Chains A and B, each alone.
Chain A
Amino acid sequence: MSAGSDLREVRDTVADLLADRVTPEVLEAAERDGWAAGVWEPLHAGGFTTVGVPESAGGAGGSVAEACAVLEAAGAAAAPVPVAETGLLAGCLLASAGLDLPDGPLTTGVGDVALRDGSLTGRLARVAWASAAARIVVLADGPDGTVVAVVDPAAARISPGHNLAGEPRESVDLGGVVPETTAPAPPGARDDLARRGALARAAQIAGAARRVLEITVTYTGERVQFGRPVSRFPAVADHLVRVAEQAEMAAMASRSAAVGAGPDGEPAELDVAAAASVASEAAGLVAAAAHQATGAMGVTREFALGVLTRRLWSWRDEWGGERAWSTRLGHTLAAGGPDALWPTISRGVRV
């Protein structure tokens, strides 16, 4: 009925690939150095970094749902590399403009950028892994409309920055940079990019939330206080249930939006808005309940929970948080009027 079993296979394959590679030491080193070659290379060699980008453009092919399945597994592992950025974001942006993918990690970002007489002006804020990327893909306003421009990061002025998880989020000053390649962007390219960004983060949140549940259940089942595992106390068990519920919510929301995109389509505006709203809200609830359940141990740098909760707290706002997406969705639903409300919400997924 659904493509569920294929997607499960993708998630499991990526999870197996990452299991021994994303270790606490690797994560610490990645926060220090801004890069984790030992994580990136096997993912890239296996073709997992460009799933969802058509093979004709040099990607690995596959659907948006498969791309999100990769991202869910990468999110669960806290893989400190730009999988979302290379494939679903920069990669798809290039393909949509008829450009081939350069090899290596790619990234993209949002900002007021213009193309004048062959060189760029403006800056991008909080670009993921900008300095580590082989190329940065930019949407710029040109004299004849929006263009997709490919930039060598070495040519731009990059100022450091991070998110709460220590993942690079850098400011990129493009003033005077001459792009290597440009091509006209398809109509709606900015909106498409924003939707894909929000969907990618929702999938990563779903993966991380599921892993948080596993860690929290295991820890509270082993930690003994007052003579029994703390998970036997109803008040603690209540936190576990809330984590489980919100992990289910985030997964169902992001998977529904991803599956709804169809084999090679764009994810629908309404679906992505709903998924981003639900996943971003779930991220905060999951992190709070998991930390309460795991007590002081949970907030130590040594414990596995923090690498995930710091990502949840970061990813939920990247490409728009729950209020931003709820507001967009609300205006759309309101414009449809009361009679269209239930038919729209119950439309469900199409495969």
Chain B
Amino acid sequence: MIFDPTPLSADEEKLRDQVRAFLAETLPAGFRPGLGLGGRHDPEFTRTLARRGWVGMSIPTEYGGAGASTVRRFVVIEELLAAGAPIAAHWIAERQSAPAFLRFGTEEQRRWFLPRIAAGECWFSLGMSEPDAGSDLASVRTTATRVEGGWRVAGTKVWTTNAHLNHFAAMLCRTTPQGEGDRHAGLSQLIVDLSDEDVHVSPIPLIDGEEHVNEVVLDGVFVPDERVLGEVGQGWAQVTAELAHERSGPDRYLSILGLYRAFLDAHGRHPDDVRAAAIGRIGAQLWTIRQLSLAVARSLDEGEAPAVEASLVKDVGTTFEQQVVEMLRDAAGGEIDPGGPTMFDVLLAECVLNAPTWTLRGGTTEVLRGIAAKALTRGAR
């Protein structure tokens, strides 16, 4: 399907103005923007945002949220990401965990977790990848063994962003040993309390020198039955549903907005045609990808499930983000200087070191294209 563009309603525009005004008064002058969803982990900012009702917006009001549409949430997170706001504390809880509780959680879990997430007080990490299970998630080895009143979980998770700061993670575990048949069977999602003494978190330093992703060793940690998310054995279906739903959001094209803006500030006063062409090409692509992403959000509100389009938008968006870094580096000229005087210098250095992750996280380009190709060719046969 090819989408028609969708406008924002007057109400949605008003919401956007409110978020813009809030950010203008909250973020300090000379604020160094985070790279989209790589924004900093700032509990105070998250709580302030939550007081405005802008955390966990799509959580229904009976669970403490705003019961907002996908598009209204889109409007808010787009502005937060565009500003490079410090959203890391609530990002996964609100994007991934809250919808998962709504779809698969028990009433008791919803009543406990959702109001806390919406208040900005309950932060989640993802618990999917393992040393031998990256793109091939079905090969997870973390094992949950039945014990009285719950499960004992043993295994190792990796790339667990902010596990040292967050409260919980939904860990994808094998609850039934892998048999001959369907290798996706026998997986389950268990909510692990990251402060448990049998959970050992240690940082995995990345090439940018930062230590926000972790290895998480689960050393026989006990998870009570009431912390099983969804059905035992249905973990695979639950995880893939989560991924498809959240692939095409504004986090897939806004990692570079701070850099783009800083380029205009540093090199865009009276640009020559080469620099103008770079500025214009980026602006044109961004304008278009944004409309695509918004159209996906709107179609979700209209009850459709545009999984293929979401994969395409993510692939286009993240590939574009990487191109932007190279185009602006080339247009600026000179050497990359992490200690340079301008915001552009600083952000360019950060972007070059971070850009490789943009087409890896949330499904590598190769995996996404595989999913999209399967759907494209299915119709043809």
- A interface residues with partner B (beta carbon < 8 Å): 1-4, 7-8, 210, 213, 217-218, 220-221, 229, 231-232, 234, 237-238, 240-241, 244-245, 247-249, 251-253, 255-256, 259, 271, 273-275, 277-278, 281, 322-323, 325-334, 337-338, 341-346, 348-351
Q: Which one of B271, B281, B289, B381 lies within 8 Å of A277 (CB-CB)?
A: B281
B316: chain A residues at CB < 8 Å are: 245, 248-249
Q: Tell me which of A213, A234, A345 has the highest count of chain B C-beta atoms within 10 A of its own C-beta.
A: A345
B340 at interface (Cβ–Cβ under 8 A)? no
B285 interface residue, CB < 8 Å from A? yes
Q: Which 10 A-B pairs have the closest CB atoms?
A: A330-B280, A4-B4, A330-B276, A237-B373, A329-B280, A330-B279, A326-B280, A277-B284, A274-B284, A221-B380
Tell which of A4, A234, A277 touches B280, judged by Cβ atoms closer than 8 Å. A277
Partner of A256, one of B20, B261, B279, B291: B291
Chain B residues, Cβ within 8 Å of A277 = 280-281, 284-285
Residues from 287 to 346 in B contacting A, C-beta threshold 8 Å: 287-292, 294-295, 298, 309, 312-313, 315-316
A337 and B380 in contact, given A1-B298, A273-B280, A348-B290 (Cβ under 8 angstroms): no
Chain B contributes a number of interface residues (CB within 8 A of A) equal to: 58
CB contacts under 8 Å to A, within B136-155, are none
| A212 shortest CB reach to chain B, Å | 13
Specify which chain B residues have a CB less than 8 angstroms from the CB of A213 in the assembled complex. Answer: 376
Of the candidates A217, A281, A329, which one forms a contact with B283 in the assembled complex, judged by CB atoms under 8 Å apart? A329
Q: A1-B298, A7-B4, A333-B264 are in contact. Are A326 and B373 (CB under 8 A)?
A: no
Contact yes or no, A346 B78, CB < 8 A: yes
- Alpha-carbon distance A240/B269, docked complex (angstroms): 40
User: Which residues on B sit within 8 Å (CB–CB) of A281?
Assistant: 281
Assess the B283–A245 pair: CB atoms within 8 A.
no
A271: chain B residues at CB < 8 Å are 287
A346 and B82: CB pair below 8 A?
yes
Which of A210, A253, A322, A332 contacts B288 (CB under 8 A)?
A253
Quick one: which of B7, B281, B312, B369 contacts A237, CB cutoff 8 A? B369
Bound CA span A322–B260, Å = 19
Which of B2, B273, B294, B377 is within 8 Å of A348, CB to CB?
B294
Neighbouring B residues of A330 by C-beta, 8 Å? 271, 275-281, 283
Residues A278 and B284 in contact in the complex (CB < 8 Å), given A241-B373, A251-B2: yes
Report the separation of the CA atoms of residues A345 and B290 in the bound assembly, to the nearest whole angstrom.
Answer: 9
B177: Cβ under 8 A from any A Cβ = no
Which of A1, A252, A334 makes the CB contact (< 8 A) with B264?
A: A334
Closest to B276 in A: A330
- Residues in B neighbouring A344, C-beta threshold 8 A: 283
